[in-house]
Structure 1
Amino acid sequence: MSYADLRELRSALTTASDIAFSLDAAPSGQETELLVDALRRALAAAGALGAEHGATGCPEHPRGAVDPLYGDKDDPLPPGYGRCLLCNDRRRRASAQRRGWR
């Protein structure tokens, strides 16, 4: 469990609670959307707490940053690449270095 995941869970739950307690008897569509978004964030954060390989799927950096270029689960990944920003950055730098030496 990482502190960042726990902090995100607490933040999302606090936001959802604040929204829920401020709702009127007939909440607007925008208010319910905000509540649903906060609850989805909380659910994702709670799921990340117990995930073996976190959002990155990387055994070396399970709680690391997700690569924004390949962060979507539906995006095709280049051979050897995963969703881990740290590993992908290392691969990009190595690839750029090899191209520069030729």
Structure 2
Amino acid sequence: MDEARRSGRRVPANRPFLLGELNRTVPGVDDRVRALGEDAGPAEYEDVADRLWSLFLVARELAPTRSRTGCDVHPDGPVDPLAPEGWTRCLLCNRNRRIGDPSVPGVETGRAPGQRYEAPRPPYTREALTEALRRVRELQLDLGPTSPNEEFARLAEAVHRAFVTARELSRPRTASGCARHPGAPVDPTAEETGGAACLFCRGEETRRARQGPPVPRPRRTRPRRRIGHRITPPPRGDRPDGPPSTSR
């Protein structure tokens, strides 16, 4: 505690306890994955996924609290879908930056994390799970009670990637053998057409073949609108819905 005070960093009260639980759980999960063979079934990966989920709950408690935008001023504000690289996810702050508002603080070096943890991309294999756990072990060895919050945030993201990989491996597998969609149904016309056996992959191929290359659309020019120009209406007698004019 004296060393933490000298360094100028405050250690949360529950961090030493959670960090000890993390250090005790990671080796057991790692040994469990190493004991699995190449032909391990979904039921064996289900136990690994349950352990990784418990580990993720601990890592998430160690990481700083996430908000929707990652912004201290607008934590629950709208998310900018077109945020440039290096900017934050807050739409309100990014709008002020685009118009050059000097009251907005400068952009940080990295983008603030969102509220949701991103899932890794397929394929979900045993090698991908082993690589994810290796990353977890590397981050765990460098952690201490006085480590910055950014390192705990990276650990939570790494544990979440390992959990998603184990969860996808624990899903029931079909005869399609697809690494991207382990629980997808089998395409009944795969033998006749010679295409993919996975029905989901077959649907993606069919959609791409039907759509073809994107065709650029010409931009429509908007008609110019005159401001302050007023058209004088015709006399009431000359209107189609009015009485006929008696003047000659």
2:150 is matched by which residue type in structure 1?
Q
Gaps of 5+ in 2: 1-38, 41-122, 174-178, 188-199, 213-248
2:171 to 24, 42, 51: 51
1:25 to 145, 148, 172: 145
- Give the TM-score, by structure 1 length: 0.57
Report SS of the residue matched to 1:88.
Answer: helix
Identity of aligned residues (%): 22
Greater fraction helix? 1
Higher relative CO (Cα under 8 Å, sequence separation at least 6) belongs to: 1
Give me the whole-angstrom Cα distance separating, in 2, the residues matched to 1:6 and 1:43: 12
Report SS of the residue matched to 1:24.
Answer: coil
CA contact (8 A) 1:19 1:31 kept: yes
How far 1:94 sits from its partner (Å)? Answer: 4.5
State the superposition RMSD in angstroms.
3.2
For these two proteins, the number of residue pairs brought into alignment is 75
Give me the whole-angstrom Cα distance separating, in 2, the residues matched to 1:55 and 1:93: 17
Give me the whole-angstrom Cα distance separating, in 2, the residues matched to 1:93 and 1:35: 37
Deviant stretches of 4+, over 6 Å? none
- The structure whose Rg is larger is 2
Aligned pair in 2 of structure 1 residues 25, 93: CA closer, same or farther (>3 Å)?
Answer: closer
1:35-89 per-residue CA deviation (whole Å, 9 max, x = no partner) reads: 001100110111111112576452238xxxxxxxxxxxxxxxxxxxxxx4x2233
CA contact (8 A) 2:124 2:180 kept: no
CA contact (8 A) 2:125 2:169 kept: yes
Report SS of the residue matched to 1:15.
Answer: helix
CA contact (8 A) 1:48 1:55 kept: no
Give me the whole-angstrom Cα distance separating, in 1, the residues matched to 2:166 and 2:208: 33
The worse-fitting range, judged by mean Cα deviation, of 30-39 and 49-58 is: 49-58
